Chain A
């Protein structure tokens, strides 16, 4: 019984939040990794792209809510998500046309593109703050819990409760659908194959008649969709606050690099590695260990390895370890 209780406590506080967070990171890291693979630079504006897409979704959600349209138990934001994706696609395409294309034609060094993306980050950040303000916004509605802790206790008679928020379940389901679609697209469609070819070897792809502008355009469209979805899921799960998305940049980059920049599969793996380590290292293990320890030997302290404020440090340390021992990442990425 103790073992079961310990497992339930572990799932409640570590496994489920980490899976949800990992899915969000994975979606974000997929965007970063695709940009890196096709356009060959680290996009510092990615966090703010996520914020922009999520912002459009929030605005549309409010509008739908005010019209009385909803999805019942599911959050209205799902209905608004396609609008958010379209808005974000429009933004990134305009950005690409007005900003990035010039440097692509010049064959500028990647680091110049990174600095350019810094400028784009400023503008997007300013836009989001300008339109919706810098404060917390609440847009979640629908059923809050799939299983609440009390119901679970009643159902199983265990001492520990297991709560699954509907947003957590939703995150995982949506992330799985997104990833499945993405991989189908990359592996089965003509455009997806040309994208992979372009990422593997630009010159060869050009020789075989692939239109680079088309590849780049599709990449941006996919990235916008992924970023918006990731942003909305994160916002539903936690809350929407523009500055938080900027701070997500570090774990997202860490995920992409840990998995191997340029490798979509690696981005997903990296997202979960980072999320699980962040949650386990900052979790207070007192409760779980208490079930294992013999009577009278329960730990006194919280048994927390690091305080939650240091969660950045965790993603950073993992990043450093991977960079030092396996610079191409877990799944062989590019090392240009």
Chain B
């Protein structure tokens, strides 16, 4: 039973850290840490599915997270019939034409005999397809982006409840993952890494530049929320009364209420996904996955279709990341493609999984909560440390101000050191795989 005790202690330790934050700083920031920690935990479960279960090295987490965010805009924004009549259908048609071109080129490569004829046909198909695609695409995009560009200029959404965007985000990410997996899986592990790194950058580039889709870098703000607004709560006499009975003023009470509402929603999703991941791990499917991970050749000899299974788990893991991305955008209430950074959304998640214990779902969750807490708190700690170090230096010296200004960059340094220390001295993580 010692293992259970140890794991419970670890989780309690992280909880204690959050509680200390609540007392030392404010409950508001403590709950904020918990909320992002829960979302990070879901991302970590996704990466753990791919890396811990199957040994797939995906460094494109950021792309799938961003796609989840895009899904929130596409699902929950109000309908924009004007944009659709102006050019929305034209854009869809153009995209379909583009897809048809790629499909035709792939078919030609597969069906035709190798030789100069095939190369020529493929080239002609691709060039003609591209010209037609641009001819249909460009004017329609111009038409859509011309509609009220200061506030809209995009195709809008479906006007559905925002909670539906979460599974939609998963689906969108899964679709992208399927496309990537089809092409890049089956190559060597390093190649998959480079390919996913690239695809993530491309997804971000598309989201930044295609204004018709989700306004690009002009950002979409004021996304609908699944929880009530603070101002409504403050105007609700019943709420003010119950806040007063707890000894809280209405403003603090309402922000806490909203954040706790998110926490409850996120916890439910996390628990469901964690349960599913645990069941998958224990099932024959999970054992097969680990068998493939540990010895691909032997698993293949046993009749397992390694590439297919890899594709399956790659799509599943990416879908989980997409769900987390949609949840994060809902929490922020806005989609800002400029803020997606690979260090924060890809590599930090990797640190979480490795530190927590790759191959163990509880480890991934623990690692996510712990690393997210550190990521947030290292900055004030670093500042404090710098103030202590530079205490003796004269006020206004260049070195002192430089050191204090640079404290913000302690985060990356700390994360790198933590990752290397864990890899060196405890490579199986805090909660090792069974």
Contact = CB atoms under 8 A, between A and B. Distances in A.
Nearest to A98: B420
B15 interface: no
A133 B347 contact: no
A113 B41 CA distance: 25
B416 interface: yes
Given A116-B420, A119-B420, A323-B184, A315 B198 contact: yes
A319 B198 contact: yes
Interface in A204-247: 246-247
B415 interface: yes
A312 interface: yes
Interface string A295-336: 000000100010101101101100110011001000000011
Interface in B412-430: 412-417, 419-420, 423-424, 427
Interface string B382-423: 000000000000000000000001100111111111011001
B193 interface: yes
B194 A42 contact: yes
Given A257-B194, A307-B209, A310-B205, A119 B189 contact: no
Q: How large is the interface on A (under 10, 10 to 19, 20 to 34, 35 or more residues)?
A: 35 or more
A104 interface: no
A250 interface: yes
Contact of B412 (A122, A249, A253, A335): A122
Contact of A129 (B201, B209, B409): B409
A253 B194 contact: yes
Interface in A69-127: 99, 102, 110-112, 114-116, 118-127
A140 interface: no
B409 A130 contact: yes
Contacts of A123: 412-413, 416-417, 420
A142 interface: no
A250 B193 CA distance: 11
B306 interface: no
A282 to B, nearest CB: 12
A134 B406 CA distance: 9
A54 interface: no
B236 interface: no
A324 B412 contact: no
B409 A249 contact: no
Contact of A323 (B195, B354, B419): B195
A249 to B, nearest CB: 7
A257 B198 CA distance: 13
A25 interface: no
A305 B194 CA distance: 24
Contacts of B184: 320, 323
Nearest to B421: A119
A254 interface: yes
B413 A115 contact: no
Contact of B420 (A120, A249, A323, A324): A120
Binding site of A, secondary structure by majority: helix, strand, loop or mixed? helix
Interface of B is mostly: helix
A301 B198 CA distance: 29
B347 A122 contact: yes
A166 B427 CA distance: 49
Given A310-B202, A312-B202, A324-B183, A115 B354 contact: yes
Interface in A242-272: 246-247, 249-250, 253-254, 257, 261
Contacts of A310: 202, 205-206, 209
Contact of A320 (B130, B183, B415): B183
B350 interface: yes
B416 A119 contact: yes
Contacts of B201: 247, 250, 312, 316
A5 to B, nearest CB: 26
B19 to A, nearest CB: 29
B187 interface: yes
B142 to A, nearest CB: 11
Given A123-B412, A246-B342, A323-B184, A257 B191 contact: yes
Interface string A128-155: 0111011000000000000000000000
Contact of B419 (A119, A134, A315, A316): A119
B304 interface: no
A119 B195 contact: no
Contacts of B130: 305
Given A99-B420, A119-B419, A313-B205, A130 B413 contact: yes
Contacts of B343: 122, 125, 246
B208 interface: yes
Given A111-B55, A130-B413, A315-B198, 14 more contacts: A112-B423, A115-B419, A118-B350, A121-B416, A122-B351, A122-B416, A123-B412, A123-B413, A125-B416, A126-B411, A129-B412, A254-B194, A312-B202, A312-B205
17 contacts: A99-B420, A116-B420, A116-B423, A119-B420, A122-B343, A122-B412, A123-B420, A126-B411, A130-B413, A257-B191, A257-B194, A310-B206, A312-B201, A312-B202, A316-B201, A320-B184, A335-B188
Interface of A: 41-42, 44, 99, 102, 110-112, 114-116, 118-127, 129-131, 133-134, 246-247, 249-250, 253-254, 257, 261, 301, 305, 307, 309-310, 312-313, 315-316, 319-320, 323-324, 327, 335-336
Interface of B: 55, 57, 59, 130, 138, 183-184, 187-191, 193-195, 197-199, 201-202, 205-206, 208-209, 342-343, 347, 350-351, 354, 405-406, 409-417, 419-420, 423-424, 427
Q: Which 4 A-B pairs have the closest CB atoms?
A: A122-B416, A126-B413, A126-B412, A123-B416
